[in-house]
DNA sequence: AGCGTGCTGGAAAGAGCTTTCCAGCGGGTA
DNA sequence: TACCCGCTGGAAAGCTCTTTCCAGCACGCT
């Protein structure tokens, strides 16, 4: 058992190996400069003996940077974000990147704080996940912080919206929702309602707009009063769905702009005694894996969540580009039991 | 716009404020020593002007430590772990702790690597989540690494098992499963099967053992051939359930040792045309929030996932204790639609 | 034999902050 | 008036690495 507990540093290693500090350092970080095989071995031995663990902060200082990448998500317990997080973490590891996690609990003003913290930590990059409020002072604060961060040499990537000074991975919400709408019309539905998420989230807005576009192709409109806003969460879906049922005329099909809301809506309908899926069809968006077992299984738009993190990291690792780059992913409509063909 | 982009350090701030480095430092970290109000203000101004961002690595060196806490989970995309992660992150923030995330993808040998990395980073503590394999060399490697880490001043906490040299938060799996078994018997069930998770995970074993204990109270046994092992995942549940259906004699009630497997099993049964819940009852364990909307809604054992992270962080922040401490949480049986009373 | 070339090892200069130690100054007490 | 104390500000050490620059050495060439 090595008893060098606690305070072993490179100096100790060098001394034990009988070489200079510089040589020890060169051996241990496999630098470009070559070191004789004998010394090399002596240093390796000494390091192992002493159970040497290099000080990451010291390395960060000397090297002028770290291998930390900050990941900021609105809510890590939401399966949509945790899937993306998993993807980021998985692809970070082979590059030796360390992921630092921040979950803002959907309080977007904290994003700027986290970016500031990342700058202070000399983090290599940041991945910002999630749609956010449209133009306002919060957004401005975040932009300013992001600019300061990149000016200081940090790299930034965003997943989910293209309003930030950063390389961006986006999902084609609009066309996905449009395709879904058309599919639903093909299945025979004519009267729709939409559980639309927060009015100020771009993602929610795009999906609603796309859905309406798709319907319009077939001469169908969704009246504003059949569009109900709610939180982008399971409970938000439940509440919006409950509200919908209070209305006089019921739709044939409800489109919830994400799966999490859709699943909440399912429960709301069931709790109110609606027979699913025959009496009322439901569709979602995202195709969240852990939600695939609900019944009736959700018709939805699959987006390649696992790829999102990978691409974002790719941006961070690439050479910085002149202007922000964009990578788009399109969705794919998946029809399941929640929207049976209208007989 | 401050043009001190990139390389502003304390020296710059001190110079602009016309004070010494020491004074600037004292002002900026609100140290114990007092500084005259005028100078204090001048330094604050200068820092703001220059958009000064202290170098975290430098601070870590000078202070001999960081406010980083490592969180290592088997799979961040699993709702069980992401819920715990959310809890850790939420409670970390008010203490100024930064969470570093590692998801091992259930490759437990990587836990030791992460702890080593945390030691190198001079992280304040580590929270290890998840049950793990019983005694073997992997476990030994992790223990050794953990000892080295704590010897170097790091703090360690574990969630989910008590076989590590660390303060531990555990869930009383055994008594929870026992209570569930009794409840199911009270509902009228007599013939059971268990989808048991990996044979080497303590959590899975405890739940199985507790379940059997509960049944035994009522003179009911579960034959070994009615216990099917599988991965602790949705797909693991699906497969184990499928395998079960191949058997000759069907049970009346299936206990899946966690909700994620239970939900997979639900789909497997449905895909095979089993009418749920009347033809076959299903129970789970954990009461995962994002799975509450499946149909039939799962009878399960609720465990206070949100509290787990909080307690673990509490351990890290507390004074180090002589010997490892343990905090236990018990589960609560929740009966829902998936186990209707036997008529 | 003399000199250049190519290696290898070491000394030392940072990197940016915290904190101890010291000096100076003003006010209170004898 | 002389002395001491307390308070505030500054100089400098130290935290642990990386990396540049330099010196020494052996070899090969002329």
The per-residue pLDDT for range A32-50, each reduced to its tens digit, is 677 788 888 999 999 999 9
pLDDT value at position B30? 67
pLDDT value at position A2? 36
List chain A residues with CB under 8 Å of B58. 57, 61
Distance between CA atoms of B149 and A56, rounded to whole angstroms?
Answer: 14
Task: Tell me: pLDDT of B327 over 70.
Answer: yes
Each residue of B217-273: pLDDT tens digit? 999 999 999 999 999 999 999 999 999 998 877 899 999 999 999 999 999 999 999
Average pLDDT over residues A175-201: 96
B282 strand-pairing partners: B254
Half-sphere exposure of A113 (CA within 13 A, CB side): 10
A127 strand-pairing partners: A71, A157
Third-level CATH fold of B173-303 = Rossmann fold (3.40.50)
CATH architecture entry for A65-171+306-331: 3-Layer(aba) Sandwich (3.40)
- The pLDDT-based confidence of A24 (bands split at 50, 70, 90) is very high
- Where b means 16+ CB within 10 Å and e means fewer, A70-103 reads bbbbbbbbbbbbbbbbbbbbbbbbeeebbbbbbb
- The pLDDT-based confidence of A4 (bands split at 50, 70, 90) is very low
- Whether A65-171+306-331 shares its CATH topology with A173-302 is answered yes
Half-sphere exposure of A187 (CA within 13 A, CB side): 26
Contacts of A137-143 with C-beta under 8 Å, sequence gap 24+, read A138/A108, A138/A109, A138/A112, A139/A163, A141/A109, A141/A112, A142/A108, A142/A111, A142/A112, A142/A115
> Straight-line distance from CA B97 to C1' D19, in Å?
33
If you measure CA to CA, which chain A residue comes closest to B264?
A293
- CATH number of the structural domain B66-171+306-331: 3.40.50.2300
Distance between CA atoms of A294 and B124, rounded to whole angstroms?
Answer: 41
B101 strand-pairing partners: A99, B71
Task: Tell me: pLDDT of A31 over 70.
Answer: no
Distance between CA atoms of A73 and B290, rounded to whole angstroms?
Answer: 17
> Straight-line distance from CA A23 to C1' C13, in Å?
16
pLDDT value at position A5? 45
- Best interface-test mutation with B: which of A53, A54, A87, A149 has the largest number of B CBs within 10 A? A53
Distance between CA atoms of A306 and A159, rounded to whole angstroms?
Answer: 12
Strands B167-171 and B192-195, bridge-based pairing: unpaired
What distance in Å separates residue A89's CA from the closest CA in chain B? 7
- Best interface-test mutation with A: which of B8, B77, B260 has the largest number of A CBs within 10 A? B77
**In this structure, what are the phi and psi dihedrals at residue A293, rounded to the nearest 5 degrees?**
-100, 5
> Straight-line distance from CA A88 to C1' C1, in Å?
66
Domain-by-domain residue ranges, chain B? 10-54, 66-171+306-331, 173-303
Please give the CATH superfamily to which domain A173-302 belongs.
Answer: Response regulator (3.40.50.2300)
């Amino acid at each position: 058992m090595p008893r060098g507990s606690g305070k072993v540093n490179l100096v100790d290693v060098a001394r034990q190996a009988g070489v200079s500090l510089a040589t020890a350092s060169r051996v241990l970080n496999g630098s470009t400069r070559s070191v004789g095989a004998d010394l090399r071995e002596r240093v390796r031995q000494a390091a192992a003996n002493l159970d040497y663990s290099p000080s990451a902060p010291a390395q960060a200082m000397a090297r002028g940077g770290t291998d930390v990448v900050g990941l900021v998500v609105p809510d890590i317990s939401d399966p949509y974000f945790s899937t993306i997080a998993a993807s980021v973490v998985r692809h970070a590891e082979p590059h030796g990147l360390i992921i630092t996690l921040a979950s803002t609990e959907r309080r977007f003003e904290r994003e700027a704080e986290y970016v500031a913290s990342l700058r202070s930590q000399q983090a290599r990059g940041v991945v910002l996940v999630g749609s956010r409020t449209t133009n306002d002072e919060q957004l401005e604060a975040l932009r300013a912080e992001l600019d300061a961060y990149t000016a200081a040499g940090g790299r930034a990537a965003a997943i989910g919206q293209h309003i930030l000074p950063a390389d961006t991975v986006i999902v084609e919400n609009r066309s996905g929702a449009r395709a879904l709408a058309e599919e639903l019309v093909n299945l025979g539905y004519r009267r729709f309602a939409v559980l639309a998420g927060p009015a100020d989230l771009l993602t929610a807005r795009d999906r609603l707009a796309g859905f309406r576009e798709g319907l319009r192709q077939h001469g169908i409109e969704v009246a504003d009063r059949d569009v109900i806003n709610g939180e982008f969460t399971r409970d938000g879906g439940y509440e919006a769905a409950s509200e919908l049922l209070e209305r006089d005329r019921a739709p044939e099909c409800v489109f919830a702009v994400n799966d999490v809301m859709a699943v909440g809506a399912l429960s709301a309908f069931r709790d109110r005694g609606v027979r699913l899926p025959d009496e009322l069809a439901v569709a979602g968006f995202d195709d969240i894996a852990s939600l695939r077992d609900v019944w009736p299984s959700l018709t939805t738009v699959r987006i390649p969540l696992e790829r999102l993190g990978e691409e974002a990291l790719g941006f961070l690792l690439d050479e910085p580009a002149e202007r922000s780059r964009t990578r788009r992913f399109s969705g794919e409509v998946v029809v399941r039991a929640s929207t049976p063909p209208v007989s």
